């Protein structure tokens, strides 16, 4: 038998110099996914430390990516903290286990969230929460799956101390990242549409903002002073609208109504109805019906996340719009977050946030690639109605102000 050519990993004794953070976290909206079976929750391991680590890495980059001038330097710092597969970068060996270890223990198993128990779509109020959880409903290709809600778990964060002079700064980074994950993120699938939203049940004053009034200051205190150098995604520039106090599922219901109306372009009096006033479908139909030499196309909805699927219409085949903006999957995570946010005063509110992230500059309609351009307000009636918004993401904030009757604020404004 041939001996393996891959060297055995180096053993390291457990460090006695370890800082520990201990949180008890509760899932306040239905969570889905996370198992080996797509769409389903794993009953034995509903929450995995590896999944939480992935979420925390993302939010750490949103906070601290601007400290680094290049993506290579960012990757090196991220690997040192969170770990990565070993590799060589600029003739330097990096990677391996990071300084942070996570241990998850389920305290309360939670309850099944059955989609069929949700109210059916209403002609004037729209589909409600179903608008967010439709991927888990029964279809011709897949059965309906159940979600999980009110699950509680203990998260133990172990930070290995390697340099005492830098330890407090690194500890603050971990604390701020966890705060941001709980505020804007979640666990499982479709967290940007409110699924798997979180709160903390112990030591809430440490981890949660106090109330709506102090939220802008709370977010700004998380941001480190830097020049915003490398920017793939940054918390700086994120715009938020916070609705009135509601419980978690009521907040999710209001957010679903808001998003359904916005996606349809129904902006008056919050009334939901059939049809769509955005020009996107008409532009696509015209391009599909009539061959054109132009390699540019003006659309709005790709800026809300991809892929987009338009079903077959008379004279127009089904159309799928994808992107290779980040990878070859054709997907682009939505820069718009809709979720309930928890406060330490034992209340919650619906939250709409637009992340400051790179937007796609090209898309695929079928196999045809086009340069993507946002239409001018004069070319798109929805943008024109929403204070002549020049960016479709900003249009969502403008409509959120109208819908929830609250003004927006911008994180890191003036930094």
pLDDT of 91: 63
Report the alpha-carbon distance of residue 319 to residue 281 in Å, rounded: 10
pLDDT of 270: 59
pLDDT of 172: 96
CA distances 8 to 11, 12, 82, 87, 221, Å, are: 9, 12, 21, 15, 44
Using CB atoms within 10 A of its CB, is residue 279 exposed (0-12), middle (13-18) or buried (19+)?
A: buried
CA distances 111 to 43, 114, 182, 307, Å, are: 11, 9, 20, 31
pLDDT of 13: 53
pLDDT of 40: 87
pLDDT, tens only, 92-108:
666 678 999 999 999 99
What backbone torsions phi and psi does residue 374 show, to the nearest 5 degrees?
Answer: -75, 130
The helix-helix angle for 392-404 and 248-264 (nearest 10°) equals: 130
Percent of the chain with pLDDT over 70: 87
The DSSP bridge partners found for residue 339 are 351
| Model confidence band, residue 287 (pLDDT cutoffs 50, 70, 90) | confident
Report the alpha-carbon distance of residue 279 to residue 277 in Å, rounded: 6
Q: 307 preceded by cis ω (within 30°)?
A: yes
**Residue 370 · residue 352 · CB < 8 Å:** no
pLDDT of 340: 98
Residue partners of 332: CB distance under 8 A and separation at least 6: 302, 305, 306, 323, 325, 326, 360
pLDDT, tens only, 345-355:
999 999 999 99
Q: 9-18, 36-45, 367-376 — which is least confidently predicted?
A: 9-18
Report the alpha-carbon distance of residue 332 to residue 280 in Å, rounded: 18
Assigned token pair, 261: 């109306």
pLDDT, tens only, 119-165:
877 766 788 999 999 999 888 788 899 999 999 999 999 999 989 99
């Amino acid at each position: 038998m041939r001996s393996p050519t891959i060297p055995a990993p180096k053993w390291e004794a457990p460090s006695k110099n370890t800082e520990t953070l201990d949180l008890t976290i509760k899932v306040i909206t239905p969570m889905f996914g996370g198992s080996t079976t797509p769409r389903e929750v794993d009953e034995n391991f509903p929450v995995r430390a590896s999944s939480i680590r992935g979420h925390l890495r993302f939010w750490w980059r949103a906070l601290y990516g601007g400290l680094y001038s290049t993506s290579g330097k960012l990757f090196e710092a991220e690997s040192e903290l969170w770990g990565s597969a070993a590799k060589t970068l600029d003739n330097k060996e990096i990677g391996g286990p990071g300084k942070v270890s996570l241990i998850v223990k389920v305290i309360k198993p939670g309850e099944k969230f059955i989609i069929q128990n949700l109210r059916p779509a209403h002609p004037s109020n729209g589909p409600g929460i179903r608008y967010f959880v439709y991927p888990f409903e029964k279809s011709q290709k897949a059965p309906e799956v159940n979600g999980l809600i009110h699950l509680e778990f203990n998260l133990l964060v172990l930070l290995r101390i390697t340099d005492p002079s830098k330890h407090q700064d690194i500890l603050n980074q971990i604390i701020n990242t966890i705060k941001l994950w709980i505020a804007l993120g979640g666990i499982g699938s479709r967290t940007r549409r409110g699924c798997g939203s979180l709160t903390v049940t112990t030591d809430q004053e440490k981890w949660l903002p106090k109330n709506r009034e102090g939220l802008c200051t709370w977010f700004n205190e998380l941001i480190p002073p830097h020049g915003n150098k490398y920017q793939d995604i940054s918390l700086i520039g994120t715009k938020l609208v916070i609705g009135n106090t509601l419980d978690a599922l009521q907040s999710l219901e209001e957010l679903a109504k808001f998003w359904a109306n916005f996606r349809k372009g129904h902006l008056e009096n919050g009334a939901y109805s059939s049809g769509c006033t955005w020009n996107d479908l008409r532009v696509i139909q015209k391009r599909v019906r009539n061959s054109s030499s132009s390699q540019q196309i003006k659309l709005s909805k790709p800026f809300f996340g991809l892929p987009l699927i338009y079903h077959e219409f008379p004279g127009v085949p089904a159309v799928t719009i994808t992107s290779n903006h980040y990878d070859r999957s054709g997907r682009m995570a939505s820069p718009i977050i809709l979720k309930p946010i928890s406060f330490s005063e034992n209340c919650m509110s619906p939250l709409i946030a637009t992340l400051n992230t790179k937007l796609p500059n090209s898309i695929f309609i079928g196999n045809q690639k086009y340069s993507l351009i946002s239409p001018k307000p004069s070319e798109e009636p929805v943008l024109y109605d929403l204070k002549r918004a020049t960016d479709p993401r900003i249009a969502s904030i403008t409509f959120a102000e109208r819908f929830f009757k609250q003004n927006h604020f911008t994180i890191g404004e003036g930094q």
